[in-house]
Structure 1
Amino acid sequence: MYRPALFFIMFFSCIIQAQAQKLSPAEIDTLQVHKQDSYYEKGQFSEGIEFNKKIIQLCEETHYTKGRIRGYINIASFLYSLGRYNEGMQYLQKAENLSDVYSDDVLQASLFVWYGKNYHALGFIEKSNENYSKAIDKAVKIKNTKLKRRLLHFIYGNKAINFDQVQNSDSLYFYIHKAYRTFPKVVEAANLTDYFLRIKKNQDSAKYYLDRAEDLLKTSGKTFDYMMYYYAAGQYYGSKKEYKKSLEYYERSLGVAVKMKRPESILNNYKEIAEIYRLQNDIPKAGEYLLKYTELKDSLAENSKVAVQTSEKKIIEDEKKLYQNSKNKLYYILGTLFLLCVLIALFSYSYYRKNRKQDLLLKENKDLISQKNEEVHGLKTKVNEAFDNMLLLAKTNDPSFITRFQEVYPEFCKKLLSVNPELNTSELILCAMIWLGFSSKDIATYTYITPKSVEMKKYRLRKRLNLEDQKNLYLFLQAL
């Protein structure tokens, strides 16, 4: 960064820390943008969160809504990088509440894209794509051409990852290439390297994009871009069976990922390094990195569990809001019709009698609804009692637990056995306990085995279910 800009940032950072004077909206905007990039480049996510909290406080004092919205979104982006999706969703909701009164295409596009990234991380792919589409609708309206290209590039690149997860290779390539054409960067060149290696098995095309990534890296110099290039190079040389060279690049990528505190990237590197050691028949080293991979994956899964619940609540709230809007429109239409009916009733006795019949029908419907509500309440009570009884059987390691579980959730068991009809009773019990939300520690306690044994059982279960390494076991079972 050139010296005047650096001096400017340092100058206003001192002002914030000393709180010696108020900053103008333009000064806050500049400070937020420059400092955000700086914290990301250095992997100083916690420091970035604290900085934005101070900025938000200043914005509250000066009633600068735009700065508050950007601050909340910035905090959510740092929390995403730390794998703290639950907290990130809460800050995005704060930004969304304010964006209802302050409309800005850039901020709303950013808000939707970070919603999309969080939903993707938690396995809600359809909801993620929905938010990416909203982000694109807002981004294309941005008047600043350079900013619009950068933002669209970011959205296209992230949307491509969703199609990779649902194994739609055509849409995957379409969006990666669209992001690359919109704004050529190291990330997309590296992702295209991965696409041609993993999907198309075309080493020549992969090498072309790997070389392009290396060329772009010369002008970029960003730490994150180095991590992506090293990872892509590790993939390429691994496919060429040049394992020593592949391992060197993966270790470089891992070093940068650790420095930047990016858990998902660390996880991917652990997996690939373990595989390279396995291919070299270095079983101890492969086991060492596989254990690191498993421990980190379980840790992220535990963090994701609470975030999944928060996201489900957010989805329900969105649906309620949509329903309420539809309901309000319906009330408006019904109100208009009612006024017309009243006017007509003044001139038509026959319509009055018809209206009276409708009133009687409405009363009958209310009575029927009341009766149905009582029936639903009774069914809910029975279901809750059955669920509590089933949990007690699980916690006491009662042999009848799995039988009771199959009675309460027959469809789950049926779908699970359709995946692998040869699952034994022990594996069915493990699946049931994971589906009910028990942690590895809980399962170990209730079944009188060690947590390490539970992890080994989970590992074997994944193999029995033919579950890919990058897929979350808990989310997979929840989706059945």
Structure 2
Amino acid sequence: MMEKVVRLVFFFSLFFYLPVLSQSKGIHKEFKNRVASNGELFNMSIDRAYQQINQLIEESRALKDSVSEMQLLERKCRYFYSKNQVDSLIISSEKLQKVSKEYNNVYYEAMGNIYIAETYSVNKFYDKAIFYLNNAYEILQKDQSKSKKIFFAKANVLSSFANVYLDKNEPRNAARKLLEEIKSGNELKDPKEFASFQYLNYANLSNIYLLYNLDSAYFYAQKSIHIKPADITEDKSMIDNYNVIGEYYKKRKDYSNSIKNFHEALKISKRIGIDLNINNVNKSLKEIYQLTNQKDSVIFYENKIKQYELQLLQSKYNSLQEVISKDQKEQSRSSGRNLLLWGISLVLLIGCALFFYFKFKKKKTTQINHNLQETYSQLITLLQNNDPGFMFSFENAFPLFSGKLLKLNPELQQSEIEFCALLKLKLTTKEIAKYTFIETRTVQNKKYRLRKKLEIPQSVDIYNWIDGI
């Protein structure tokens, strides 16, 4: 009798447990699909993909999905690396290193070390950068599976060594490391994998040759474009390729083709959200417009260059603090002499940061005040003429505007962003109604909905709030 009761209890429990188990598997599968979709989005628009990452990381922890967690943390590192946000990169790379070590995953632990090395190299601590790259390679050597993932991670180590040599202003050594990486590609037997791998390497190599051999740079940029698989969307490598080809034509004073290629690079950068090395394009365009005496364009790119350099300087300053803090923890018994040197470096960097900040601020204020009214006037003229190029011109004038709005509320529609652009130009309700062919009441309703979506308090003037974006 007791045995029969036990069996009944067992089958009764099984009856309820199986649907729960099935549901749990469904939740995990659905989550994996969202992580994969985020990866696809990351290749098309890293800013939009990044907005999802923190929430996905929280869910991965709740589901105890360690692989997805590490994958998302590494994606976060790639985002900060692509955006040149070195201060955020060191924090996220340390997190990746720590979590992957806990999960005993050699691939992601190595990637964490690679990203940490990049932050040290940017801050001119080259010995430290090399230490972490060697550490990454040793970690990868522990894996005897000979998997493709480990192969690509080792290739990343070689790329990072090349970056260190570039930061040290040793482009020939950097090229040697990349040629070593290109040679390692012979291990890939699948033609498509081989093409994808070498497409990236040739683009990187062309970018290095740009520093001392323009003909070789042009050759490898063209080779990269030629070998690029059709199903790979245009990415950072294509930005580099267009930049190299633009420089090639600039050197030959073919400014029309040069500008065309530089604009292609900017177009991809804007679409996918990658800022790495894009300031080189801005500098080259400024130089061409100076040579061709196009003063308005010179001022436009001059402002973009200064804005970029100021942001980069601030990021480097913050990352230097993080690097020094990390190094103090690792070497708490190190001599006071090293700390003094770091302290001096920090003081010098702060001094430089303040110098450039006030210098840029003073110049920028003068130039912006001089040109702002003209920019507004040009944009309003486009609007009055119902010109479809209005938003393109607006985003050129205010390149960070849309991104900042989407960070505040990722669910904003394009029409709402365009409406915010009109408020940025300080157009009155009547003017907006006139230029967009809608009723004034409709404009007021749009303002009301925007206040709710962006959580703008009623006590705050919406024009002043938008102007601060």
TM-score (norm 1): 0.59
Return structure 1 stretches of 4+ with deviation > 6 angstroms: 453-456
User: 1:234: how far off?
Assistant: 1.1
Match in the other structure for 1:96: 97
Tell me the matched-pair count. 327
* Contact persistence 1:302–1:439 (CA under 8 A): no
Any residues of structure 2 matched to 1:269-284 within 5 Å, and which? Answer: 269-284=281-296
* 1:232-278 C-alpha deviation (Å, 9 max, x unpaired): 21122223332211111011101111222223333221112112223
Any residues of structure 2 matched to 1:330-341 within 5 Å, and which? Answer: none
> What root-mean-square deviation, in Å, do the aligned CA atoms of Structure 1 and Structure 2 show?
3.8
Counterpart among 202, 205, 211 of residue 192 in structure 1: 205
User: 1:182: how far off?
Assistant: 2.9
Any residues of structure 2 matched to 1:326-475 within 5 Å, and which? Answer: 435=351, 438=354, 443=358, 451-452=362-363
User: 1:293: how far off?
Assistant: 0.6
User: 1:146: how far off?
Assistant: 2.0
User: 1:180: how far off?
Assistant: 2.4
* Contact persistence 2:124–2:167 (CA under 8 A): no
Match in the other structure for 2:165: 163
Structure 2 counterpart of 1:88, one-letter code: L
Match in the other structure for 1:332: none
Match in the other structure for 1:69: 70
Any residues of structure 2 matched to 1:36-185 within 5 Å, and which? Answer: 37-50=39-52, 52-142=53-143, 143-183=145-185, 184-185=197-198
User: 1:163: how far off?
Assistant: 0.7
Match in the other structure for 2:241: 229
Structure 2 counterpart of 1:125, one-letter code: Y
Matched, 1:208 2:119: no
Question: Distance between the aligned counterparts of 1:124 and 1:256, measured in 2?
Answer: 32
Question: Distance between the aligned counterparts of 2:63 and 2:174, measured in 1?
Answer: 44
Question: Distance between the aligned counterparts of 2:316 and 2:23, measured in 1?
Answer: 41
Cα–Cα, structure 1 residues 300 and 167, in superposed 2: closer, same or farther, change >3 Å? Answer: closer
Structure 1 counterpart of 2:362, one-letter code: P
* 1:441-473 C-alpha deviation (Å, 9 max, x unpaired): 5x47xxxx96227999xxxxxxxxxxxxxxxxx
Structure 2 counterpart of 1:102, one-letter code: Y
Larger Rg: 1
* 1:77-129 C-alpha deviation (Å, 9 max, x unpaired): 22332333333322333333333432221111111122223333444333223
Structure 2 counterpart of 1:89, one-letter code: I
* Contact persistence 2:60–2:66 (CA under 8 A): yes
Cα–Cα, structure 1 residues 433 and 265, in superposed 2: closer, same or farther, change >3 Å? Answer: closer
Match in the other structure for 1:463: none
User: 1:210: how far off?
Assistant: 2.5
Question: Distance between the aligned counterparts of 1:149 and 1:307, measured in 2?
Answer: 30
Cα–Cα, structure 1 residues 285 and 108, in superposed 2: closer, same or farther, change >3 Å? Answer: same
Cα–Cα, structure 1 residues 193 and 92, in superposed 2: closer, same or farther, change >3 Å? Answer: closer
Match in the other structure for 2:6: none
* Contact persistence 2:94–2:116 (CA under 8 A): no
Question: Distance between the aligned counterparts of 2:213 and 2:168, measured in 1?
Answer: 16
Structure 2 counterpart of 1:314, one-letter code: K
> Which has the bigger relative contact order, CA under 8 A and spacing at least 6?
2
Structure 2 counterpart of 1:187, one-letter code: L
Matched, 1:298 2:300: no
Match in the other structure for 1:469: none
Cα–Cα, structure 1 residues 290 and 185, in superposed 2: closer, same or farther, change >3 Å? Answer: farther
Q: Tell me the secondary structure at the aligned position of residue 438 of structure 1.
A: helix
Question: Distance between the aligned counterparts of 1:120 and 1:23, measured in 2?
Answer: 44
Match in the other structure for 1:239: 251
Question: Distance between the aligned counterparts of 1:25 and 1:101, measured in 2?
Answer: 25
Cα–Cα, structure 1 residues 194 and 86, in superposed 2: closer, same or farther, change >3 Å? Answer: closer
User: 1:28: how far off?
Assistant: 8.8
* Contact persistence 1:180–1:188 (CA under 8 A): yes
Question: Distance between the aligned counterparts of 2:291 and 2:110, measured in 1?
Answer: 44
Question: Distance between the aligned counterparts of 2:31 and 2:147, measured in 1?
Answer: 18
Q: Tell me the secondary structure at the aligned position of residue 202 of structure 2.
A: helix
Question: Distance between the aligned counterparts of 1:26 and 1:79, measured in 2?
Answer: 28
Question: Distance between the aligned counterparts of 2:163 and 2:366, measured in 1?
Answer: 28
Question: Distance between the aligned counterparts of 2:30 and 2:165, measured in 1?
Answer: 37
Question: Distance between the aligned counterparts of 2:349 and 2:304, measured in 1?
Answer: 24
TM-score (norm 2): 0.60
Return 5+ residue gaps in structure 1 as ranges: 1-19, 325-375, 377-408, 416-430, 457-480
Question: Distance between the aligned counterparts of 2:121 and 2:268, measured in 1?
Answer: 23
Structure 1 counterpart of 2:212, one-letter code: I
Structure 2 counterpart of 1:193, one-letter code: S
Question: Distance between the aligned counterparts of 1:291 and 1:300, measured in 2?
Answer: 14
Match in the other structure for 1:257: 269
User: 1:215: how far off?
Assistant: 1.1
* Contact persistence 2:113–2:136 (CA under 8 A): yes
Question: Distance between the aligned counterparts of 2:127 and 2:27, measured in 1?
Answer: 37
* 1:210-231 C-alpha deviation (Å, 9 max, x unpaired): 3311212244532213322211
Question: Distance between the aligned counterparts of 1:307 and 1:170, measured in 2?
Answer: 28
Question: Distance between the aligned counterparts of 1:75 and 1:129, measured in 2?
Answer: 23
User: 1:312: how far off?
Assistant: 1.6
* Contact persistence 1:194–1:206 (CA under 8 A): yes
Structure 1 counterpart of 2:80, one-letter code: L
Match in the other structure for 1:217: 228
Question: Distance between the aligned counterparts of 2:255 and 2:84, measured in 1?
Answer: 30
Structure 1 counterpart of 2:220, one-letter code: Y
Q: Tell me the secondary structure at the aligned position of residue 102 of structure 2.
A: coil
Question: Distance between the aligned counterparts of 1:313 and 1:210, measured in 2?
Answer: 40
Q: Tell me the secondary structure at the aligned position of residue 116 of structure 2.
A: helix
